[in-house]
């Protein structure tokens, strides 16, 4: 047993669920900085287990039950999502709620490019990223039993209230961030009119999707659904675009650190991805600069919560120690984007 996983208890739970007794092999997946992910091998079967991180400071940002609900509902739709297996809300089993889903073979593109991705194929990465998002936004929530998954109006107002509230909860445990508060005030003063609500992922970006491990380029799974809800689809696009770096972008903040791969030759430009989304979805994207500011502000608040966990000694992820400078740099990026909006 470790702080994050009681393997014996999990094995007993799965033996009861599947109706047989099979030994487990559990491997912690180290990539990512949100919910904890484990690779589970049970005989010849392979699964992925998701649970909240230890000492989660912002519980609503680590809701694995929400992930399980939306993934189960999307089974059999055009959404490129893994199939769920079982969920457990009892924290006594492994120390926190969790769920199990199928493990899909594929490649997540982060710092390094897979060998099959030639320069001639690189443009397809962004195109597949956009096309998969358009497919997700084409699903009517009521058609898959998700009509009660979120409110159909007021999404942006709720986002501002929610994340301002998260910031107010966090700052007493960290430090003053006046630049970040200025960005939040600007967002409230310049709120755009939302398009019709859609099912939104909430954390849609290049390293939260998976591609088949061979040419031609094909996105085969969207991952990390804990932020999903019904809301403004342009918030998904703005988040995705914010993590899509270009060679001319300034360095020195979290976006630059996390997404350097797309600065290489022959990757699509942000403007082309935005135009592709608008063409294929039919949704007007003229307010995209506002949504990029929103994405930057939200990421800064989320990471300030993780920095608070670091200061409290509740996480062993070295990435969060860097947020001492990383979050203020994001706030400065938000101010720069505001000036150009």
Q: What's this model's pTM, rounded to 2 decimal places?
A: 0.90
What pLDDT is stored for residue 139 in this prediction? 97
Total domains in the fold of the chain: 2
Tell me, what's the pLDDT at 301?
A: 97
Token code pair at residue 130: 């956009």
Q: Are residues 26 and 134 in the same domain?
A: no
Residue 115 within a domain: no
Looking at residue 62, what is its pLDDT? Answer: 57
Are 215 and 129 within one domain? yes
Would you say residue 116 lies in a domain?
no
Instruction: Sort residue 19 into left (φ over 0), alpha (ψ -120 to 50) or beta.
Output: left
Mean pLDDT of the chain: 92
Question: According to the model, what pLDDT value does residue 4 have?
Answer: 77
Pairing of strands 198-200, 229-231: antiparallel
In the structure encoding, which two tokens stand for residue 283, read together? 């949704």
Pick the closest to residue 260 from 271, 245, 250, 273 (CA basis). Answer: 245
Domain boundary among 70, 102, 134: 102
Asked whether the beta carbons of 298 and 243 are under 8 A apart, the reply is: no
98 plus 204 within the same structural domain: no
State the pLDDT at residue 29.
84
Q: Are residues 307 and 212 located together in one domain of the fold?
A: yes
**Same domain assignment for residues 303 and 224:** yes
Give the pLDDT confidence score for residue 255 in this predicted structure. Answer: 79
Domain housing 86: 7-102
pLDDT means over runs of 10, the chain (341 residues): 80 96 90 79 96 63 83 97 96 93 95 91 97 98 94 96 96 97 98 97 95 96 93 98 91 75 95 98 98 97 94 89 94 95 85
Q: Is residue 2 part of a domain?
A: no
For the stretch 9-63, pLDDT in tens is: 999 999 999 999 999 999 998 765 568 899 999 999 999 999 988 755 444 445 7
What integer pLDDT is reported at residue 55 of this predicted model? 56
Choose one of 102, 134, 149: the last residue of a domain.
Answer: 102
251 and 130 in a common domain = yes
User: Kind of pairing, strands 84-88 and 45-51?
Assistant: unpaired
Domain at 47, CATH number: 3.30.200.20
Write the CB contacts of 25 (distance below 8 Å, at least 6 apart in sequence): 40, 41, 42
Here the tokens at position 199 are 């099912």
Length of the chain: 341
Q: Is 248 a member of any domain?
A: yes
């Amino acid at each position: 047993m470790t702080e994050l996983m009681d393997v014996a208890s999990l094995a007993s739970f799965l033996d009861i669920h599947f109706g047989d007794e099979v030994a487990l092999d559990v491997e912690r997946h180290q990539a990512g900085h949100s919910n904890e992910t484990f690779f589970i091998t049970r005989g010849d079967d392979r699964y992925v287990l998701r649970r909240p991180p230890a000492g989660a400071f912002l519980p609503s940002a680590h809701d694995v039950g929400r992930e399980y609900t939306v993934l189960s509902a999307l089974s059999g739709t055009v959404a490129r999502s893994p199939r769920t297996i079982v969920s457990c809300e009892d924290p006594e089993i492994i120390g926190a709620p969790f769920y199990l889903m199928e493990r899909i073979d594929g490649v997540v593109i982060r710092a390094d490019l897979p060998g099959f991705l030639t320069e001639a194929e690189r443009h397809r990465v962004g195109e597949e990223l956009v096309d998969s998002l358009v497919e997700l936004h084409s699903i009517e929530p009521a058609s898959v039993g998700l009509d009660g998954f979120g409110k159909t109006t007021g999404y942006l107002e709720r986002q501002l209230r929610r994340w301002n509230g998260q910031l107010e909860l966090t700052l007493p445990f960290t430090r003053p961030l006046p630049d970040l508060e200025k960005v939040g005030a600007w967002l409230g003063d310049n709120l755009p009119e939302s398009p019709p609500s859609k099912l939104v992922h909430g954390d849609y970006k290049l390293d939260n999707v998976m591609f088949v491990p061979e040419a031609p380029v094909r996105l085969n799974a969207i991952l990390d659904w804990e932020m999903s809800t019904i809301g403004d689809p342009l918030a998904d696009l703005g988040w995705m675009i914010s993590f899509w770096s270009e060679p001319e972008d300034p360095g020195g903040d979290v976006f630059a650190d996390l997404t350097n791969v797309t600065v290489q030759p022959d990757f699509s430009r942000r403007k082309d991805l935005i135009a592709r989304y608008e063409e294929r979805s039919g949704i007007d994207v003229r307010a995209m600069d506002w949504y990029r500011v929103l994405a930057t502000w939200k990421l800064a608040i989320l990471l300030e919560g993780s920095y608070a966990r670091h200061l409290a000694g509740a996480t062993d992820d070295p990435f969060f120690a860097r947020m001492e400078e990383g979050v203020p740099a994001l706030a400065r990026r938000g101010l720069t984007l505001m000036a150009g909006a």
